[in-house]
Amino acid sequence: MRASREHMEKVRSHILESSEQGFREEGYSGLGINGLAKRAGMTSGAFYGHFPSKRQAFKEVIESGMKDYIDSIQQFEEKYQEQWPLHFLDFYLSSEHVDDLAHSCVVPALSADVMRSDEEIKATYSTLLEKVVNQLSNGAGEHGKTGALALVSLLAGSVMIARCASTPKQSKEILDAARLLANTIVSD
């Protein structure tokens, strides 16, 4: 008996979600097909039934993560109206966001892996990054796209570096410094 299309989509979605967490926590080179399948609670053969390769799963993780970034910005805009940039910064530069690697933003979590990937994945990332920047430019005031580019870079870099800090105090100092500069972009 064949599984229903709905069931297959649900399983594929579960594999993708497990892969998102795995790649964020361990990086692209930190997990093979066996590790990705194990995280999803299935065999490697079952994984291959949904994704032809680890590379394809990674590409879809990047796509999904970047779309989540765009959706999150839209949700902040809808919920907080004109004050959304400040609330977004509160979230993005929080210790909770920094500490929750498995569910955090794909940009600080996987950009280094994208850098080492093939041109197709880089093109996918770049196209979706442009959409993130366009969405953020709504909150960058007079700085527009230039401010949004700076903001994306500042936020991602700050989260990455805060994750490398050896103490919570140092991590907080990094996030506080980033917030100070980010405020100048969104407040003008």
Summarize pLDDT for 84-136 with one digit per residue, the tens. Answer: 999 999 999 999 999 999 898 999 999 999 999 999 999 999 999 999 999 99
Hey, what domains does the chain have and what are their CATH numbers? 58-187 (1.10.357.10)
Summarize pLDDT for 30-86 with one digit per residue, the tens. Answer: 999 899 899 989 888 888 888 899 999 999 999 999 999 999 999 999 999 999 999
| Displacement of CA 90 from its chain's centroid (Å) | 17
- Per DSSP, the three-state class of 118 is coil
- What is each CA distance from 36 to 28, 54, 96, 139, in whole angstroms? 10, 8, 25, 37
Return the higher-pLDDT residue of 138 and 188: 138
φ and ψ of 30, to 5 deg: -80, -10
Write down the pTM of the prediction: 0.90
Q: Read off the pLDDT of each residue in 11-23 and give the average, rounded to a whole number.
A: 90
Summarize pLDDT for 21-37 with one digit per residue, the tens. Answer: 999 999 999 999 899 89
| Residue 17 in tokens | 């979600």
- Judged against a pLDDT cut of 70, whether residue 2 lies above it is answered with no
Q: Quote the CA–CA distance of 25 and 82 in Å, as a whole number.
A: 34
Percentage of the chain lying above the pLDDT 70 cut? 98
CB-count exposure of residue 18 (10 Å: 0-12, 13-18, 19+): buried
Longest dimension (CA), the chain: 62
Q: Is 27 left (phi over 0), alpha (psi -120 to 50) or beta?
A: left
| Residue 111 in tokens | 């950009």
